[in-house]
Amino acid sequence: MPDQIHIADLLLRTIIGINEEEREKKQDVLINITMGVDLKAAGHSDQIADAVNYRTITKEIIDLVENSQFQLVEAMAHEVARICLKDERVACAEVRIEKPGALRFARSVGVSVVRRREDYQL
């Protein structure tokens, strides 16, 4: 992975899961993202035009997650990665999504996916 941008511990609420009780009220999901990006241009110029705007990406992720009703965390992670890769400067994205308290004796359960631009038709 080249240079990286990290979005850490984005805590959102959404409808997620396959069980009837999971479909009735929102649950917490914890999202961590690492995007592979060449940061040299932004580092040299100190201009936002040369940078990947992680604020814009985060806002789009928040909108997706909080207004979605995915059944599977895997599907949510796939779509979050798609949002990250819409910026042509992002070469790859690793997305980890956890559902705290989903398993009785575990603090959290989750998935981690790695996607590259070629995984999508953008």
Q: Span 15-24, mean pLDDT?
A: 92
Tell me which residue range forms the domain holding 114.
Answer: 4-119
- pLDDT per position as a tens digit, 88-99: 999 999 999 999
- At residue 45, does pLDDT exceed 90? yes
Q: What percent of the chain has pLDDT over 70?
A: 99
- By the 8 A CB rule, do 69 and 50 touch? no
CATH number assigned to the domain comprising residue 75: 3.30.1130.10
Which pLDDT does position 1 carry in this prediction? 53
Number of domains in the chain: 1
- pLDDT per position as a tens digit, 62-119: 999 999 999 999 999 999 999 999 999 999 999 999 999 888 899 999 999 999 999 9
Query: Other CB atoms closer than 10 Å to residue 101's CB: what's the count?
Result: 12
